[in-house]
Amino acid sequence: MPLYMLHCIDKPDTLDLRMATRDAHLAYVSQTGCVRQAGPLLDNEGQMAGSLIILELPDLQAATDWSAQDPYAQAGLFAATHVQEWKKVIG
């Protein structure tokens, strides 16, 4: 099954929203079972400011749908999201 990269950038000054939604986001990740790697992007001060998620799903539409249902996205956390097929070469 193909892999997809989900790259998300938080809106400015939304760390409180991210933290308030984090448990729901992590539960969604766990329940859906398609996340292969994930973690927050950090700003220059070391604060969470976005997400990088690698999804294993059948197609780009499924990855896009997964992204749209993420509680972070539903809460309006992201200024921008990008979903693209990704090929693992190293690691």
Output the pLDDT for position 23. Answer: 97
Domain 3-86 part of CATH 3.30.70.1060: yes
Non-local (6+) Cβ contacts of 13 within 8 A are: none
Per-residue confidence at 91, pLDDT binned at 50, 70, 90?
Answer: confident
Provide the pairing of β-strand 35-42 with 78-86.
Answer: unpaired
Q: pTM of this prediction? A: 0.92
pLDDT digits (tens, 9 = 90+) for 24-64: 999 999 999 999 999 999 999 999 999 999 999 999 999 99
